[in-house]
């Protein structure tokens, strides 16, 4: 700003502008002295340390977030020096007595400079007026006591800078603030999700299974990644293994919204809990657990059936086992069949087979009673009997009706020792093509289907079934259906080109 313009300086500071310019500072003089933290004002500095040089600013253009720094040159202890500044849109003149301490010059009183060589050190905020600021270094001439009169005689030098409307670019790398589980955590549940909380909003396109991984040693863990708010979540496809140390990593390909990447890969590890079985106590099958098929009234097959494990009937004799082409062993204690990888037992074979079969049938009935008599179910009447498409956790399930599984199948998700018991008051119907899926390490030997219906259990064509079936009536498997488990029926089992494997 030119000296002629300064001569026109007003004697009154606009109240709204004064509030902006003096935010955060205090009055420290008997004269009008305003302390400013958030805004620039005009200043005159009285100190014999200042040389006849221009004030020095750290840069000529500033935006929000920048730090404005004004330094005063020093020289000549025997002469008074002053510094003044005019802000954009105003012709008021301000005085400064110390770092960031400002006052409006009233045209009469000059305030002494009490500070060192640094006059301004402020961060630009949205409160600052936009435009050009001019800083003047002044010295009083002989016989002139008011800088508002013949200001051109006072000026030794000046410096200008601008404050623009821009916002300071984000160049700060994001960080991971929190993880769950924490690094080196132990006893982590096997059904846990892994989360990472960032220091700022991230670019969702950079948060994926490519940048957020989980490893079991050198083996990647399958899962999905979601990002909401500041939190990225890795959800394993299956339960984690017990007593296992996993390593999670977020790579430097993860970026914030400004494109800043993590400074380095973020890696942490945790160990899962020692295996603890979920669900009820398993049903004890006794010696019935020695058979993949066990019935009271017989076993019939048509087509090419493949059975792995022993089969048996009692009290009906071997005439109740049809379609197998039985070949009696030389000991007369059991028979064999081209359809069975195992032995075939019946009540009319040589001792000790009859007694063993009686015991096995008794154990089957006891197991059924045990499964049916379990109390305090975890789930009752789930899906009104239709569990199609559901994902079921370990537990005791109870229905006062029948149960249906359609083409959508059902998934049982749990650990290797977890247990499911399904108490079904009526029939179990599994429609054509349905699949019972075991996930997370769940095992067929720990799944028990207790069925009380008057018809029993019907597995449709191409069904893939899992678990131990305990039925008061018949178990029927239609063409090409498979069973990984056991079929223990208190009447008969009917097969049609099926594959049955003991668990």
Is it the case that residue 27 has pLDDT exceeding 50?
A: no
Q: How confident is the model at residue 54 (pLDDT cuts 50, 70, 90)?
A: confident
The whole-number pLDDT of residue 293 equals 98
Q: What is the DSSP letter of 151?
A: G
The per-residue pLDDT for range 452-489, each reduced to its tens digit, is: 999 999 999 999 999 999 999 999 999 999 999 999 99
Burial class (CB in 10 A: 0-12, 13-18, 19+), 205: exposed
- Assessment of whether the complete model's pTM goes beyond 0.75: no
- Rounded CA gap, 82 and 379, in Å? 85
| Closest C-alpha to 334, from 343, 323, 325 | 343
- The average confidence (pLDDT) of the chain is 85
What pLDDT does residue 88 have?
Answer: 81
DSSP state of 27: -
Q: How far apart are CA 223 and CA 231, in angstroms?
A: 16
**The pLDDT of residue 242 is above 90:** no
In this predicted model, what pLDDT tens digit does every residue of 106-141 receive, in sequence order?
Answer: 767 776 666 677 878 888 888 888 888 887 777 777
* Beta strand pairing call for 266-272 and 245-250: antiparallel
Each domain of the chain, given as residue ranges in start order, spans 3-167, 176-272, 286-501
Choose between 18 and 163: higher pLDDT. Answer: 163
Per residue in 336-383, pLDDT tens?
999 999 999 999 999 999 999 999 999 999 999 999 999 999 999 999
Q: What is the 8-class DSSP label of residue 353? A: H
pLDDT of the residue at 38: 30
- Asked if pLDDT for residue 224 goes beyond 80, the answer is yes
User: Could you read off the pLDDT of 409-435 as tens digits, one per residue?
Assistant: 999 998 888 999 999 999 999 999 999
Strands 456-459 and 474-477, by their bridges, are parallel
User: In percent, how much of the chain has pLDDT > 90?
Assistant: 62
The second-level CATH assignment, the architecture, of 176-272 is Sandwich (2.60)
From the list 253, 328, 340, 249, the residue with the least C-alpha distance to 293 is: 340
pLDDT of 248-285, one tens digit each? 999 999 999 999 999 999 999 999 988 777 899 999 99
Tokens in use for 202? Answer: 């991230």
């Amino acid at each position: 700003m030119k000296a002629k313009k300064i001569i026109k300086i007003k004697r009154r500071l606009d109240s709204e502008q004064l509030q902006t310019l003096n935010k955060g500072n205090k009055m420290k003089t008997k004269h009008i002295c305003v302390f400013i933290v958030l805004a620039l004002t005009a200043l005159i500095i009285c100190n014999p340390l200042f040389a006849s040089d221009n004030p020095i600013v750290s840069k000529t253009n500033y935006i929000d977030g920048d730090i404005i720094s004004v330094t005063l040159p020093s020289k000549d202890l025997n002469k008074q020096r002053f510094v003044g500044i005019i802000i954009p849109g105003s012709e008021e003149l301000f005085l400064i007595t110390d770092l960031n301490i400002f006052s409006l010059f009233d045209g009469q009183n000059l305030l002494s400079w009490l500070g060192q060589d640094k006059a301004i050190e402020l961060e630009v905020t949205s409160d600052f007026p936009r435009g050009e600021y001019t800083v003047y270094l002044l010295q009083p001439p002989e016989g002139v006591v008011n800088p508002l009169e013949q200001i051109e005689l006072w000026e030794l030098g000046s410096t200008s800078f601008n404050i623009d409307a821009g916002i300071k670019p984000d160049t700060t790398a994001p960080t991971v603030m929190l993880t769950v589980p924490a690094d080196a955590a132990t006893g982590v549940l096997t059904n846990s999700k892994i989360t990472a909380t960032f220091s700022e909003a991230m670019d969702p396109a950079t948060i994926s299974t490519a940048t957020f991984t989980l490893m079991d040693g050198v083996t990647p863990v399958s899962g999905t990644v979601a990002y909401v708010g500041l939190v990225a979540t890795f959800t394993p496809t299956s339960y984690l293994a017990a007593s296992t140390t996993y390593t999670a990593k977020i790579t430097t390909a993860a970026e914030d919204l400004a494109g800043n990447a993590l400074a380095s890969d973020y890696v942490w590890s945790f160990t899962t809990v020692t295996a603890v079985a979920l669900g009820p106590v398993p049903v004890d099958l006794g010696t019935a657990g020695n058979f993949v098929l066990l019935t009271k009234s017989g076993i019939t097959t048509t087509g090419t059936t493949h059975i792995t494990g022993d089969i048996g009937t009692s009290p009906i004799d071997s005439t109740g086992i049809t379609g197998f082409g039985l070949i009696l062993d030389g000991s007369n204690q059991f028979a064999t069949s081209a359809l069975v990888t195992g032995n075939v037992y019946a009540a009319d074979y040589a001792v000790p087979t009859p007694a063993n079969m009686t015991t096995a049938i008794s154990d089957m009935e006891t197991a059924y009673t045990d499964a049916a008599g379990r109390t305090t179910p975890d789930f009752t009447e789930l899906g009104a009997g239709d569990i199609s498409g559901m994902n079921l956790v370990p537990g005791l399930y109870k229905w006062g009706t029948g149960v249906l599984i359609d083409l959508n199948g059902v998934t049982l998700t749990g650990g290797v020792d977890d247990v499911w018991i399904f108490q079904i008051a009526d029939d179990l119907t599994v429609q054509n093509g349905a699949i019972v899926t075991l996930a997370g390490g769940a095992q067929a030997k720990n799944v028990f289907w207790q069925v009380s219906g008057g018809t029993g259990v019907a597995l449709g064509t191409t069904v893939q079934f899992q678990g131990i079936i305990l039925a008061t009536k018949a178990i029927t498997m239609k063409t090409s259906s498979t069973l990984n488990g056991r079929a223990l029926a208190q009447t008969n089992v009917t097969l049609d080109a099926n594959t049955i494997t003991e668990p």
